Amino acid sequence: MTLAATIAQDLTAAAFVALGAAIAYQWYRERGRAQSKLALALISLGVVAAIGRLQGPGRPSAVVTAFTLVLFVASGYFVLLFRDELIPLSRTARRAANVLLVASIAVAVLDAAVFANGDPLVVLALQLELVTAWAVFTGEPIARFWIASAQLPAVQKIRLRFLSFGFGVLILLLFVAVLGGAALRTPAAILVTQLFALAVVPAIYVSFAPPPLLRRIWRMSEENAVRAAMQDLLIFSPSREVLAERAAFWAARLVGATSGFIVDADGNVIASSGIERERAADLAANRVRLQDGAGDIVRVPLHLSDGRGYLAIVGGPYTPVFGSEEVAQLKAYASSVSAGLERARVTERIAAIEKNKSQFLNLASHELRGPITVLRGYVSMLEGGLLGQLNERGRKAAAVMAAKVSEMNELIEEMIESARLEEGGLTVRPVDSDLRDITREAAEMVSPLLDDEHPFVLDLPERRVWVKVDPERTKTIVANLLSNAIKYSPQGGQITCQVRSRAGIAKVAVTDHGLGISREDMVTLFTRFGRVITPETEHLKGTGLGLFLGRQLARLQGGDITVASVPGEGSTFTLQLPARGALETSPLAPPGESRGVDEDEALSEADAI
Amino acid sequence: MRDVATLRLGWFPDPSWITGYGGLEQPDLPFRLQAREGPPLHVLMIEDDPAIAEMYRLQLEHDGHRVSVATTGELGVSTMSGSAPDVILLDLLLPDRSGFEVLALLNERYPNHPPVVILSNYGEPSMIDKGMSLGAVEYLVKSRVTPAEISGQIPVWVERGRRGRKADS
């Protein structure tokens, strides 16, 4: 048992010496990094352990004892200095710590002098002072670290907690050793305390220099959040700047750094996280260098369309060494960042172009309304004979002018409407309406266009078809579909307009036997100014806005316009609108009628398109 | 009677130009070219575009109305201190102030002012709402109506204003 205790003591001392050596080596490799104070603390502890064990049971030299005790006090003080770098101490606290340090060094020297043959009580008191001073130097920082780590990225957090844990156990062991007295001199007690002390060594080591594998494992807790952030980059984009800021934040978080920033191809800092924009700009321009004690900077290139920018990650005092693992992660992340930023740029540019276009359309349209008013007014007065009687040729000319001015006017109205639509300023004012009435009125509107070659069949159900829509706009949609049907069947052919309601959807289907639309042309059909130009249609007039507006208006009202067509045989355009629910009773609907809207469907299923 | 504005078909293509031969027929407007009876009505037009003012004057005077034109909002309001018109046609874009301001000023200074019809090149729903909430009896987009249509509506608006005032008192 005694042998075991001795071996345990030797083992612990050896472990602390090894810890000090390993840390000295790590520190040497990463010179200039932040953890110098912590390294000094741990190396000091290792030296203390080595001397303590090597002195052996014989009568120790007072000088060596004094040196060991001072080094022990210093190791605690170094931990406090390390804390000061991470979380600066107040001036008072620093002064108090210095006083405690000087006092403790004096005590250490005194202790060494009286250790061999002094009053045991005095020795105990002196030792208690030393241990207390050490506990104060290390205890305050580790408590602070534990609290502060809650806000930090996973890797930093776990590292700080390991450090706190390690030093916490050491404080406990020291008090137990000093106060335990004879009770702790038994081999069993020694064995237990040594085992505890031994457990501290790996905790402190991984806290100081966590191996890549551990870093990866610790990061896993954040993987999901990082992955979500990555997805955000690719899908969601408020604006390029906000996107870049989020990217910088998550890039820093990803590798446990404190801050990050993004520089575009021109060298401008477009976003920063955890660091002020000006300071990031200074760092980017190499105007300043990081202060001693701060971590290093890793730059990962971003391939942007206008050149090469980069994502910079600034390590904090307790950021782990950036290894190949972190750099690989950052590179993978950087490609997402590049893609996200590019997408945001394109989206923003498109939005700007769209806005310009809308504003131009809007302005141009309003400016055109003035002259049109005068032209239209005078032409109507000419036609009406108010400006004197015209002869036959004059009347014909006036009629042509009136038609052309009308044409221009309608074009302007369409342009205003579509500009308004783009701006979101277009509103519909829905009221309960019978879709049959709307369709009937629309058919009346286009009746002047019909001729013998275009027989027209209006197929309405017997019961009302209740929809909640803007009647004027809906009428315009249907009238537009009807006029298109006539216009695009120049060879004639029957035009059918059928109204049905089924399963909560009210439909107006307009069928012609005209030119039809090829599959390729369907794509452009509903786009703004997207007219289908073929040899058969090029002589037909139109702005290409009708179907675009029609569909947009239908969608504004919760519906849509769909098309089915066979080139050379004809087309069917169907306006769909949400039918008012059968259970919803409308004040306009006579009792018993509002629920019957679907019943006609049984009759018409056979000839449904 | 339906509002004049809704008689135009919005952005729907005018049948006349699709067929290419239309337009010979006059649109069937119930109030058009009717012989008007009763005393001549006095129309105050607050309008800064001389081309438009002159055109409307031609039609209105032809139809037997009396027309005064004010080219700024200030002039329009000051005209009110003399012989009050029967109806006011108000443009929105004036050199000195907006038509809305003119209307608000009229409401303030002459609570019993004659009916005001806004004639503008702007047709945004928000502007129409604003005009109507300020008490205009009608809001028309100029390019959608002909002088004859406006002239025909004058007695209707005067009557509407008269009834409105009666309801107020």
What's the ipTM?
A: 0.76
Q: Which residue of B has its CA nearest to A451?
A: B19
CA distance A150 to A158: 9
Mean pLDDT, rounded, for B21-47: 57
Mean pLDDT, rounded, for A309-319: 77
Lowest mean pLDDT across A27-31, B113-117, B123-127:
A27-31
Is A483 close to B16, i.e. CB distance below 8 A?
A: no
Mean pLDDT, rounded, for B12-24: 36
H/E element, A545? none
CB-CB contact of A206 with A214 (8 Å): yes
* pLDDT value of residue B16: 37
- The answer on pLDDT for A427 being more than 80 is no
> What phi and psi, each to the nearest 5 degrees, are found at residue A468?
-105, 95
Lowest mean pLDDT across A199-213, A224-238, A445-459:
A224-238
Q: How confident is the model at residue B30 (pLDDT cuts 50, 70, 90)?
A: very low
- The chain-wide mean pLDDT, for chain A, equals 81
Q: How confident is the model at residue B70 (pLDDT cuts 50, 70, 90)?
A: very high
pLDDT higher at A425 or B60: B60
Q: How confident is the model at residue B23 (pLDDT cuts 50, 70, 90)?
A: very low
Closest of A507, A502, A514 to residue A600, by C-alpha:
A502
* pLDDT value of residue B40: 82
CA distance A93 to A100: 10
pLDDT tens digits along A501-530 = 888 899 999 999 988 888 888 888 887 776
Q: Which residue of A has its CA nearest to B17?
A: A403
Q: How confident is the model at residue A587 (pLDDT cuts 50, 70, 90)?
A: very low
pLDDT tens digits along A332-359 = 888 888 888 888 888 888 888 877 877 7
Q: Which residue of A has its CA nearest to B63?
A: A386
* pLDDT value of residue A319: 61
pLDDT tens digits along A35-61 = 778 888 888 888 888 887 777 655 667
* pLDDT value of residue A318: 59
Which residues from chain A sit within 8 angstroms of residue B33, using beta carbons?
Answer: 384
- The answer on pLDDT for A605 being more than 50 is no
Q: How confident is the model at residue A16 (pLDDT cuts 50, 70, 90)?
A: confident
Closest of B100, A498, B84, A298 to residue B68, by C-alpha:
B84
* Closest CB from B11, B51, B144 relative to A476: B11
**CB neighbour list of residue A28: distance below 8 Å, 6 or more residues apart:** none
Q: Is A448 on the interface with B (CB under 8 A)?
A: yes
Which residues from chain A sit within 8 angstroms of residue B11, using beta carbons?
Answer: 410, 413-414, 417, 476, 545-546, 549
Per cent of chain A over pLDDT 90 is 16
DSSP string, A59-126: ---HHHHHHHHHHHHHHHHHHHHHHHHHSPPPHHHHHHHHHHHHHHHHHHHHHHHHTTTS-HHHHHHH
CA distance B75 to A542: 44
Q: Is A374 on the interface with B (CB under 8 A)?
A: yes
- The answer on pLDDT for A188 being more than 90 is no
Per cent of chain A over pLDDT 70 is 86
* pLDDT value of residue A500: 92
- The answer on pLDDT for A255 being more than 80 is no
- Strongest mean pLDDT among A155-159, A540-544, B96-100: B96-100
- The answer on pLDDT for A286 being more than 50 is yes
Lowest mean pLDDT across A260-274, A335-349, A490-504, A588-602:
A588-602
Mean pLDDT, rounded, for A162-170: 91
* pLDDT value of residue B18: 36
* pLDDT value of residue B1: 38
Q: Is A407 on the interface with B (CB under 8 A)?
A: yes
pLDDT tens digits along A541-561 = 666 778 888 888 899 888 999
* pLDDT value of residue A52: 79
Mean pLDDT, rounded, for B30-47: 69
* Encoded amino acid at A550, one letter: G
Interface of chain B toward chain A, CB-CB under 8 angstroms? 6, 9-20, 22-24, 26, 32-33, 49, 51-52, 55-56, 58-59, 62, 121-126, 141-144, 146-148
- The answer on pLDDT for B17 being more than 50 is no
- The answer on pLDDT for A322 being more than 80 is no
Q: Is A380 on the interface with B (CB under 8 A)?
A: yes
Q: Can you state the angle between helices A471-487 and A435-446, rounded to 10 degrees?
A: 50
* Closest CB from A373, A378, A448 relative to B142: A373
Q: How confident is the model at residue A540 (pLDDT cuts 50, 70, 90)?
A: low
* pLDDT value of residue B167: 67
Which residues from chain A sit within 8 angstroms of residue B92, using beta carbons?
Answer: none
State how far residue B65 is from chain A, nearest Cα, in angstroms. 15
Tokens of A177: 């050793």
Strand order in the sheet with B138-141: B66-70, B42-46, B87-90, B116-120, B138-141
Which residues from chain A sit within 8 angstroms of residue B57, using beta carbons?
Answer: none
CB-CB contact of A154 with A218 (8 Å): yes
- The answer on pLDDT for B89 being more than 90 is yes
* pLDDT value of residue A581: 60
Mean pLDDT, rounded, for A277-288: 80
pLDDT higher at A528 or A269: A269
Q: Are strands A560-566 and A307-314 parallel, antiparallel or unpaired?
A: unpaired
CB-CB contact of B67 with B43 (8 Å): yes
Closest of A137, A132, A143 to residue A96, by C-alpha:
A137
Q: What is the pTM of this model?
A: 0.48
